[in-house]
Structure formats: structure tokens, C-alpha cells
């Protein structure tokens, strides 16, 4: 009798959707515009050129990082198929089902309205966090968490 391959998790259907909910994207938009507005008012009140080029470079790099993060929040997507789970955005992450050692759904107590639970996946020597922006993705995250529950 040939040795059997271990059976890894397979989602019930291929899923794809936004990594962040519309509520989270709205909050990110408000915070981003607020921080850009505050930075502009600061630059108008205190002429940055009087402090030297390094201060101007620091403010410009802070603006670039803020805008890159904002773009990542708006455009990040999650997809799950028979091979694994992938989050595309500012930084791409991909984990194959056979690499997963454990998975857990974690959330911030009493702040689910602000940030829904995240799926934390442990592979051999790394942790990956995946965000779900739809109810279907969060339900699949719960099934993944149950399938890969660590045994004592």
C-alpha cells in the first residue's frame, strides 16, 4: 500500500475580495487627509527651509510613506484557492496550504466595529497576518482557523 499524502485544507470555493472593509477605508481616508492637512498647516506656520534640507527631506519622506500606506489600504485584496492564500497590496504575501503549521483568528476585544478579526498563520519559522474585508472572507478565515487549530 503506497504512503498517503497528508490532506491539507482546501477552501469550499475560490474566494477573492478586499482586504479591508469600507468602514476601515473611510477611517483611513479621514486620518490621511487630516494628517496631510496638519502637515501642510505646519509647513505654512513654520517655514521648513529655515531648518535645512534634512527637515524638508524628512517631511517629504513622511508624506510619501503616508500616501503609500493609504494606497495599500485602498487597493489590498485577498484571494484563496486550492493552492493557498494570497494578500496583494503594498507588500504581497502568499502562503501555501501545506506550509501552514497553525492558524488563529485574532481580534481586538470590544473593537470589532473598528477592525475585524485577522487571520494569523504560522509556518515553519514565520508568522503572516491576513485581513478580510468581507463577511465571506471572515467566515472562511474562521473555517481555516478551525482546520489548523494547534493541538496540545
Partnered with residue 88 across adjacent β-strands are 77
The confidence score (pLDDT) of residue 47 equals 80
Residue 83 and residue 94 in contact, taking contact as beta carbons nearer than 8 Å: no
pLDDT tops 50 at residue 5: no
18-41 pLDDT tens trace: 999 898 899 999 999 999 999 899
* Structural domains of the chain sorted by starting position, each given as residue range(s) with its CATH number in brackets: 15-152 (2.30.29.30)
**From CA 118, how far away is CA 127, in angstroms rounded?**
12
Per-residue pLDDT at 28:
92
When pLDDT is cut at 50, 70 and 90, the band that residue 74 belongs to is very high
Written as one string, the DSSP assignment of 71-95 is HHHHH-EEEE-SSEEEEESSS-EEE
In this predicted structure, the answer to whether residue 13 has a pLDDT above a threshold of 90 is: no
Q: What is the pLDDT of residue 150?
A: 62
11: nearest Cα among 152, 145, 117: 145
Model pLDDT, residue 42:
86
Widest CA span of the chain, in angstroms? Answer: 80
Q: What is the pLDDT of residues 76-117, one digit of tens each?
A: 999 999 889 999 988 899 999 888 888 999 988 877 667 788
pLDDT at 7: 62
For the chain, percent of residues with pLDDT exceeding 70? 91
Contact between 64 and 41 (Cβ < 8 Å) = no
Residue 4: the pLDDT is 44
Amino acid at each position: 500500500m503506497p504512503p498517503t499524502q497528508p490532506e491539507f485544507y482546501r477552501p469550499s470555493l475560490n474566494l477573492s475580495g478586499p482586504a479591508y472593509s469600507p468602514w476601515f477605508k473611510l477611517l483611513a481616508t479621514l486620518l490621511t487627509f487630516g494628517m496631510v492637512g496638519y502637515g501642510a498647516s505646519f509647513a505654512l506656520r513654520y517655514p521648513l527651509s529655515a531648518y535645512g534640507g534634512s527637515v524638508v527631506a524628512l517631511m517629504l519622506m513622511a508624506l510619501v510613506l503616508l500616501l503609500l500606506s493609504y494606497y495599500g489600504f485602498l487597493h489590498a485584496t485577498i484571494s484563496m484557492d486550492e493552492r493557498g492564500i494570497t494578500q496583494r497590496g503594498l507588500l504581497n504575501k502568499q502562503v501555501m496550504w501545506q506550509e501552514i503549521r497553525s492558524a488563529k483568528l485574532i481580534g481586538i476585544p470590544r473593537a470589532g466595529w473598528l477592525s475585524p478579526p485577522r487571520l494569523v498563520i504560522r509556518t515553519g519559522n514565520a508568522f503572516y497576518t491576513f485581513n478580510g474585508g468581507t463577511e465571506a472572507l471572515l467566515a472562511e478565515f474562521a473555517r481555516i482557523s478551525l482546520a489548523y487549530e494547534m493541538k496540545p
